[in-house]
Structure 1
């Protein structure tokens, strides 16, 4: 497979070397699994004799980017860069967590003193720089951002406060044998890695689709418009399934100008010149994989992988195997991209280069406030889950569906936290005050995936979404991104079709 290497500092295509040694543990890259300590040796909670450090499964840091508001335009690039550096700090700290289990087993304060303490100081330095950059650009930085510098170690069984996730957030509930990691192997090896050498997914991240209650998920803005007052048309655009093998671990929306800003690999359809260094002019002049050549929009999402030992093109690279994203990349068998209307009236045109992020790549640690992907199986579409991967019966495809925010503030193509300029509809289908309805993008991805086997608390040959390393490949971290690069004539056609109640493509 290939990837977009234009303007890249280190093209992945030049780095496919030494894979066998790096992938010696069941097809894994870096041996991440040694850190994934279960904290379930005693369900009564009164006999946990291991150190606090040995119970830490991952690092939970406040999401500074979601708390920032009113960043002057001329400071946004610098602020986004600092936030991306903060993500790299977490990745580095997480890697240290993963490779120091012996030290943690012998010192109850190791994680706090050697990992979390230094991380807090490094984060504070970046927060200070963010505040300075905002103030220099004429803004007024929040003086309380320093309170977000500290991170905590999160045990494997700890529910994130306020998650409210379907079925408990997909966290390990002790099915893996109740605490395999007792430090006896010196490096803290345990069974939660499924033999892959990476952390997650685990057995509790999967659910038989037959065990999901029909119509139990309260989907966000998930229905097409209906009723006499709505705009009931649809517009579908066919942009393929990434036949051009366009992959990278950037995020042009959240981390422009930052190499490997996502720390996981994305699939791209539509615009063919999309990486962290692409300007709006680059996007406008690019080729497109869409059949309608007037649609140069970029549609992208984290890849799904089958953890089967396959050495992909990025097996030794940042964003890939070096950050725990391993196995065979699974292309969708079908990618349906559809725009629908509003339940309450007509829609207006999206501005060119409007950016929308939906879902949250950090939902495992942030909580589910912004989680927005539904997982299901073909033939079982009335059964949707957000925090579990479905186990589908033979002949049924894994479905991954995302319905984007469809209310625009009428002014901005982006915002400081990349969310505030867009909103979901309210319960009655109307937009919040000050927002207006635009065509809602709905993305439905269908995959042909062999059903993983779950037995004795272990999952074999699991599939998983690429994620930031500390997010442990949890299904709730799935997300989707869109930049509108339709030409004016096509966008007007989309709006007219939807408002007339027609189905167009």
Structure 2
């Protein structure tokens, strides 16, 4: 599949990072949030806050990209661009939702008539274009995609469950079900926030955090992210040292999901490894780039949304799209350590990854899509047997926040990408094997460790919270964490990785 070779703006790393200063509420950013009081209870001798009625309205749209399958290669660039425009439409609709609280308080139909109805029409126009582009390129577009045009407003404490699809939620998006968008609004009708943690943005809230002592050991129930390796099969490991983004390479692009689209992610990423990462980087650009990895044969790109401490710091992107203008505010926190490791298969040998293989794991839209593709694990050092996916951990003093993701490691044997950027890869089954004729490749495991002072949670309030950057409508929920990888190892190094793993050795 061809890649756009057009280059664009100077990387954000060249901007000067402003000194610590209070981020002004306003300035074009997403500044609305309103949280009801939370109940505070004692649990097992440890304080724990539960939301009594957290009602932050957001925009919930079916994820069209995950439903698309048959897209000819020559149409993928256009389709990805249309899907990125859909993301921008949702961002714009959420901004309108977040800045019209007074109008909503005075008109129960405002959200449906003024936000959701027009949004549905704009989405339908894009879906029509996507269908036309697929058919024109020789594919066969799904005639039912129109059913995904409608969105709804809903309270933030009602996450969709399972499936990775919104199903019926998208079917009623005709502008008449906007009542949910009224919940949790401005109770005084004056457009002022009553309880936004003092930072002026929607999320995270107290109920997004949990004391690590309140997490039961070995209780995480994740359908994804299984470790591929074990006592049998190929037991070796290969560790690549690529630093923690000392070069300050940040941008809000997504080369995999939105190639050729500036600010395609609507949130800022950390990058390690390849140093030519933006939406306009071609495979040739990646192959010719410098790398932060100690082994210069590894020019792979590893990237993830940044964590921020919402402490009032005005970062370099405080006024930018992807940053403060889209609700991602505060001090960017680099990991103290980034462990990047490849492991083997419990069922036998692994085969080499193809060069330029693209893998997305986790789901940046899990809050509205549901948890079917959620694949992050949050914990604290010293408590690694306690893992959570949908909460940020409150770690004791001296303990680091841990953020771990195990990637899909079953490859279809043919494609470096797929129309929805998922179907060419799969997770191992419970026994560690690959289904449907897929082949086992080295499993990428990334473990990030952060030095973060534990936020204070009192009376349903969280002070100085940390949070993952997110699409605005995803409200900084921990379940939206995700990670991206493009394999740009040279052939000799990839063969070395495979041989090391299959021999059962630990290499770097």
Provide the TM-score with structure 2 as the length reference: 0.88
Compare 150-159 and 30-39 and name the one that shifted more.
Answer: 30-39
* Aligned CA distance change for structure 1 residues 475 and 3 (closer, same or farther; 3 Å): farther
Is 1:3–1:12's contact at 8 Å kept on the other side of the alignment?
no
Q: Deviations over 1:449-501 (max 9, x none)?
A: 01000000000000000000000000000000000000000000000000000
User: Once the 2 structures are TM-superposed, how far is the Cα of residue 20 of structure 1 from its aligned partner?
Assistant: 11
Deviation, structure 1 residue 158: 2.2
1:434 offset after TM fit, Å? 1.7
Kept in 2: contact 1:294–1:486 (CA 8 A): yes
Task: State the secondary structure of the residue aligned to 1:335.
Answer: strand
Deviation for aligned residue 1:176: 25
**Deviation, structure 1 residue 237:** 0.1
User: Do the aligned residues in 2 keep the contact of 1:23 with 1:29 (CA within 8 Å)?
Assistant: no
Q: 1:120, 1:149 within 8 Å by CA — same for their partners in 2?
A: yes
8 Å CA contact 1:170–1:388 kept in 2: the answer is no
Compared CA separation, residues 152 and 44, structure 1 to 2 (3 A): farther
Distance 1:354 1:258, change over 3 A: same
Conservation of the 8 A alpha-carbon contact between 1:255 and 1:276: yes
When residues 314 and 182 of structure 1 are mapped into structure 2, their CA distance, relative to the original with a 3 A threshold, is closer
Deviations 1:101-132 (Å, cap 9, x if unpaired)?
Answer: 00000100000000000000000000000000
Q: Deviations over 1:403-443 (max 9, x none)?
A: 00000000000000000000001111100122000000000
Contact 1:288 1:296 in 2 (8 A): yes
**Aligned counterparts of 1:405 and 1:197: Cα–Cα separation in 2:** 37
3-state SS of paired residue (2:104): helix
Q: How far is 1:8 from its partner?
A: 2.6
* Cα distance change of structure 1 residues 59 and 244 upon mapping to structure 2, 3 Å threshold: same
The separation in 2 between residues aligned to 1:174 and 1:327, in whole angstroms, is: 35
1:354-386 CA distance string (max 9 Å, x none): 000000000000000000000000000000000
| Post-superposition offset of 1:221 | 6.0
Which residue of the partner structure matches residue 310 of structure 2?
307
Assess if the C-alpha contact under 8 Å between 1:34 and 1:187 holds in 2.
no
Over 3 Å counting, the alpha-carbon distance change for 1:391 and 1:437 in structure 2 is: same
Distance of 1:199 and 1:153 partners within structure 2: 15
Which range moves more in the overlay, 51-60 or 135-144?
A: 51-60
Partner residue in 2 for 1:27: 27
Q: Is the 8 A contact 2:309 2:333 kept in 1?
A: yes
- SS of the aligned residue for 1:480 comes to strand
Residues 2 and 246 in structure 1, CA contact (< 8 A), matched pair in contact too: no
Cα distance in 2 between the residues matched to 1:42 and 1:149: 44
- Work out which of the residue numbers 180, 183, 189 in structure 2 matches 1:186: 189
Residue 339 of structure 1, CA deviation: 0.1
Using the alignment, how far apart are the partners of 1:315 and 1:414 within structure 2?
33
Confirm or deny: 8 A CA contact 2:203 2:475 kept in the other structure.
yes
The 1:96–1:377 alpha-carbon spacing in structure 2 relative to 1, beyond 3 Å, is same
Distance 1:305 1:171 in 2: 35
User: Which residue number in structure 2 is paired with residue 86 of structure 1?
Assistant: 86
Q: 1:388 to 1:437 in 2, by over 3 A?
A: same
Asked if the contact 1:297–1:482 (Cα under 8 Å) also holds between the matched residues in 2, the reply is yes
Go from structure 1 to structure 2 and tell me whether the alpha carbon gap of 1:268 and 1:74 turns closer, same or farther (over 3 Å shift).
Answer: same
**Contact 1:206 1:389 (C-alpha < 8 Å) held by counterparts:** yes
Aligned to 2:149: 149
Provide structure 2 residue ranges, at least 5 long, that are not aligned to the other structure. Answer: none
Aligned positions, number: 505
Task: Write the deviation string for residues 249-275 of structure 1: whole angstroms up to 9, x where unpaired.
Answer: 000000000000000000000000010
Deviation by residue 1:39-82 (Cα, 9 ceiling, x = unmatched): 99999999999999996610000000000001000000000000
Deviation at 1:155, TM superposition (A): 1.4
Q: Secondary structure at the match of 1:434?
A: coil
Taking structure 1 as reference, are residues 5 and 492 closer, same or farther at Cα in structure 2, changes over 3 Å only? Answer: closer
Q: Say if 1:223 and 1:37 are closer, same or farther in 2 by CA, change over 3 A.
A: closer
Deviates more, 1:170-179 or 1:160-169: 170-179
Matches within 5 A, 1:469-488: 469-488=472-491
Tell me: CA distance 1:182–1:135, structure 2 relative to 1, closer, same or farther (3 Å).
closer
Counterparts of 2:49 and 2:396 in 1: how far apart (Å)? 42
- Matched-pair contact (CA < 8 Å) for 1:91–1:469: yes
Determine if contact 1:169/1:364 at 8 Å carries over to the other structure: no
Q: Is the 8 A contact 2:160 2:368 kept in 1?
A: yes
| Aligned-pair CA distance for 1:156 | 2.8
Q: In the aligned structure 1, how far is the partner of 2:78 from the partner of 2:194?
A: 42
Aligned residues of 2:12 and 2:249 also touching (Cα < 8 A):
no
Q: Given the superposition, is the C-alpha separation of residues 204 and 462 from structure 1 closer, same or farther in structure 2, using an over 3 Å criterion?
A: same
How many Å separate the matches in 2 of 1:330 and 1:145? 39
Q: What's the offset of the Cα at 1:32?
A: 2.9
SS of 2:54's partner is helix
- Aligned-pair CA distance for 1:193: 1.7
CA contact (8 A) 1:242 1:268 kept: yes
1:292 offset after TM fit, Å? 0.1
Alpha carbons of 1:52 and 1:345: their partners in 2 closer, same or farther (altered >3 Å)? Answer: closer
- Unmatched segments (≥5 aa) in structure 1: none
TM-score by length of 1: 0.89
- Deviation (angstroms), 1:24: 2.1
Moved more, 494-503 or 50-59: 50-59
Confirm or deny: 8 A CA contact 1:373 1:386 kept in the other structure.
yes
Does the 8 Å CA contact 1:373/1:478 hold for their aligned counterparts?
yes
